[in-house]
Amino acid sequence: MTNIEVIQELYRTFETKDYEAFRQICDPNLKWIQNQGFPNGSISYGADAVIDNVFKAFNLDWESWSFKIEEYLDAGTSVIVIGFYEGVHKISGKSFRSDAAHVYDLVDGKVTLFRQFADTKVIWDAIVFK
């Protein structure tokens, strides 16, 4: 598998909630960084922490939440994914669209590091009542 194919498979595991396949894609020492200011954002270590603190956490506050991919960029040992988040907040009922980039570092076909860069203001605007 190429690095881009690994990341494409990773997004498939997100969509289908195939957590066992996600664990297989990730290095045991995975570091997952959500950018500062992202709702419930944090740094998670290991696949199980990402499953619990990131993937499952979105279901608590959001009626819908998704990441739409526009482009994959091969950067050698890294893959950059350009796209946008969109969703609807459960309590406020407001929707948003936030441009974002994901950067994955891979070693021997395993994801070792995730870094997120997203416009968090538009997400917070969907959460806040005005």
- Domain 3-127 = CATH 3.10.450.50: yes
Domain boundaries along the sequence of the chain: 3-127
Angle at the Cα of 33 from the Cα atoms of 95 and 91, rounded to 5 degrees: 25
Predicted pLDDT of residue 55 = 84
For each of the chain's 130 residues, which pLDDT tens digit applies? Answer: 999 999 999 999 999 999 999 999 999 999 999 988 787 778 999 999 999 988 887 777 888 889 999 999 999 999 999 999 999 999 899 999 999 999 999 999 999 999 999 998 888 888 876 5
Give the type of residue at 75: A
**Spatial separation of the C-alpha atoms in residues 126 and 107, rounded to whole Å:** 37
Structure pTM?
0.91
Is residue 20 classed exposed, middle or buried when 0-12, 13-18 and 19+ CB atoms within 10 A define those classes?
exposed
